[in-house]
Amino acid sequence: MSTHEIVRTKSLLNVYFDVCETTNHIVPSHWHKHLELIFILRGTMHVISNEKNHTLHTKDLFIVNSGDIHYTRSVGKTKLLLLQIPYEFLNQIIFQFDTIHFTEHFSYDQFQEDAHYQSIVKHLLVMEELYINQEEGYQFLFTSHLHLLLRILYTNYTSRHNMEQITKEEKSLERIKEIIAYVEEHYMEPLTLQEVADLFALNPEYFCRYFKKNTGFTFLQYVNMVRLPHIYEDIIQTKDSITQIQERHGFSNYKIMNRMFKELYGCLPSEARKNSIQR
């Protein structure tokens, strides 16, 4: 039952690379087998990974290690580079890749004088230019810069973990990944903590602590965060009433939905619809 985000490679490339512009965009806690690099070109983003909260600003770099459960939220208008490298690709070129852990947060304030960090950023920006222009044969140059970037990361910003400890951690996270997959599939239903705890044979109090420890959110907070992006899309893309949309996506408390919606998108649902019509 355990599922994860499916990452598609871009045409002509063996990785996923894109220039993304978002506004108050949320990606609830999820995981994938790719190594993910997020470089902030402009704006601010919150990331929760490995039980730690990070706030990224312009020129910050963040690395999500393969298999790590993580959550991202852009604050206001944010522009970023997103690079996702398949596990299979890295496992072929890095000895015992499963034991490798990359440094996660590269704050520009802390690393701006670091020559290796400067080289990583340089390669990313060249890759951005090559990707945007896509001149004949660009994929060969793109791949060469990708390999140079990976060499810098591998030789300067990695540590090796004990395989026995890694196996133990993976077993611990397997159940939380199954719970996340269940919520993604059933978020339109009136899910309760007691119901899901029973389904996964967990004591409700333990389940509450276990879930928050591994995602950074209470179970109900997480379920509602999964629902909100679906609600937002229906508000701006359909003419259905907001009450219909709310109920369709499993929200029973209108006041809580309004409050969480405004915290995330900076306006009430009715205002979001009005703004979308005026564009």
Pick 16-160's CATH classification: 3.40.50.2000, 2.60.120.10, 1.10.1740.10, 3.30.429.10.
Answer: 2.60.120.10
pLDDT digits (tens, 9 = 90+) for 90-109: 999 888 888 899 999 999 99
Under the banding of pLDDT at 50, 70 and 90, the label for residue 160 is confident
Contact 45, 97 (CB under 8 A): no
Beta partners for residue 238, in sequence order: none
- Whether residue 2 is predicted with pLDDT greater than 70 in this model: the reply is no
Confidence at residue 1, expressed as pLDDT on a 0 to 100 scale: 34
Gyration radius of the chain over CA positions: 20
What string of DSSP letters covers 44-69? Answer: EEEEEETTEEEEE-TT-EEEEPTT--
pLDDT at residue 3, as a whole number: 40
Per-residue pLDDT reduced to its tens digit, 129-142: 999 999 999 999 99
Residue 276 and residue 236 in contact, taking contact as beta carbons nearer than 8 Å: yes
Instruction: Compute the distance between CA of residue 109 and CA of residue 123 in angstroms, rounded to an integer.
Output: 19
Percent of the chain with pLDDT over 90: 61
Same fold, 16-160 and 174-278: no
Do the bridges between strand 158-160 and strand 100-102 make them parallel or antiparallel, or are there none, so unpaired? Answer: antiparallel
> What are the structure tokens assigned to 248, written together?
């369709």
Which tens digits make up the pLDDT trace of 168-225?
A: 666 767 888 899 989 999 999 989 999 999 999 999 999 999 898 888 889 998 999 8
pLDDT tens digit string along 10-35?
A: 667 889 999 999 888 888 888 888 99
> Most distant CA pair in the chain: distance in Å?
59
CATH topology of domain 174-278: Arc Repressor Mutant, subunit A (1.10.10)
Give the model's pLDDT for residue 4: 47
Does 73 score more than 50 pLDDT? yes
Query: How high is the pLDDT of residue 279?
Result: 60
Q: How many CB atoms lie within 10 A of CB 152?
A: 17
- Reading the block at residue 8, the tokens are 């598609």
Domain boundaries, the chain: 16-160, 174-278
